[in-house]
C-alpha cells in the first residue's frame, strides 16, 4: 500500500496483526521546457487538477470555487486554473481559466508556473497529483485528512487546512462529506499569492519528494519478491 493511511484502513479490515509493507508511488517528473499555453496568463494563479463532474464531489473543487471571491478580495490579481475534463457546468468568472483535458507536458508547465497547487480531496490513499506538484517545486494546499499529512508539511512545503463534516445531497442519495474549512482555505490560498512566501517554499517542496522514485518502487517490489537482495 502507498501510505500509512491506506495501511490503517487495511488493518481495520484484516486485523492489527496483518503484516504490511508501505511502498509509496513514484513521482519522477521532468521540468517542463515550454510555456503553460493559457489563453492569458494571470499575474499569479493557483492550479487545480480534478475530474469535473458531480460524482467527483469528494475532490472538493466546489469548495475552492465558492471561496475564491474571498481570495480575490484579499489578492485581486489571483487567478485560478482548473485542469480536467468533465461535463460539470461552472459559472464563468474573470479569475478562472478552465483548460479541459491536457497533455502531461502542458499540465506540468501549468502547475510548475503556478503559485500553488490546491488539492482539497477528501479521500486520497496517496495523492499522486499533489506529489507531482511538489516535485515541480510548487507548494500544495490540501486537507488534513487521508494520506495528505504524509506528503504536505504545514508551513514548509505547503499548507494543511482542517476538514469539516457536512451533509450533502446528490439526487436521491445523501450522506456526510468532508470539505475544507473555508476560512483556513482562503488564508492559505491568499498567503501563497505572495511571491516571497511561494519562493520560500519552492525548494522545500521539491526536496520533500525527491526520494519518491519509480526506481525505488521497483527495487522494493523486487526485494519483496526475493528477486533482488
Per-residue pLDDT band for 169 (boundaries 50, 70, 90) equals low
Average pLDDT value for the chain: 86
pLDDT of 28 > 90? The answer is no
Per-residue pLDDT band for 54 (boundaries 50, 70, 90) equals low
Pick the CATH number of 29-211 from 3.50.50.60, 3.40.50.2000, 3.40.50.300, 3.40.50.720: 3.40.50.2000
Tens of pLDDT, residues 73-92: 999 989 999 998 776 666 66
Average pLDDT value for residue range 225-229 = 74
**Taking the domains of the chain in order of start, what are their residue ranges?**
1-26+213-229, 29-211
Q: How far is CA 222 from CA 9, 125, 216, 218, in A?
A: 25, 22, 10, 6
Per-residue pLDDT band for 8 (boundaries 50, 70, 90) equals confident
Which residue in 202, 196, 191 sits closest to 136, CA to CA?
202
Strands 78-83 and 173-180: unpaired
Whole-structure pTM over 0.85, yes or no?
Answer: yes
Average pLDDT value for residue range 102-117 = 92
Amino acid at each position: 500500500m502507498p501510505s500509512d493511511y491506506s495501511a490503517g484502513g487495511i488493518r481495520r479490515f484484516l486485523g492489527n496483526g496483518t503484516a504490511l509493507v508501505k511502498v509509496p508511488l513514484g513521482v519522477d517528473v521532468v521540468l517542463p521546457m515550454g510555456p503553460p499555453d493559457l489563453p492569458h496568463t494571470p499575474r499569479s494563479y493557483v492550479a487545480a487538477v480534478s475530474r469535473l463532474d458531480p460524482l467527483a464531489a469528494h475532490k472538493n473543487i466546489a469548495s475552492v470555487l465558492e471561496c475564491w471571491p474571498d481570495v480575490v478580495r484579499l489578492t485581486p490579481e489571483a487567478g485560478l486554473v482548473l485542469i480536467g475534463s468533465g461535463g460539470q457546468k461552472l459559472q464563468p468568472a474573470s479569475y478562472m481559466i478552465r483548460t479541459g483535458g491536457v497533455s502531461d507536458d502542458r499540465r506540468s508547465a501549468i502547475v510548475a508556473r503556478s503559485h500553488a497547487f490546491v488539492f482539497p480531496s477528501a479521500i486520497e490513499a496517496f495523492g499522486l497529483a499533489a506529489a507531482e506538484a511538489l516535485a515541480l517545486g510548487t507548494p500544495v494546499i490540501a486537507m488534513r485528512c487521508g494520506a495528505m499529512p504524509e506528503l504536505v508539511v504545514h508551513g514548509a512545503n505547503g499548507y494543511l487546512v482542517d476538514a469539516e463534516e457536512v451533509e450533502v445531497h446528490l439526487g436521491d442519495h445523501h450522506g456526510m462529506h468532508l470539505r475544507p474549512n473555508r476560512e483556513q482555505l482562503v488564508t492559505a490560498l491568499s498567503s501563497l499569492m505572495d511571491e516571497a512566501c511561494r519562493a520560500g517554499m519552492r525548494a522545500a517542496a521539491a526536496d520533500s519528494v525527491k526520494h519518491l522514485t519509480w526506481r525505488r518502487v521497483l527495487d522494493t517490489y523486487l526485494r519483496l519478491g526475493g528477486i533482488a537482495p
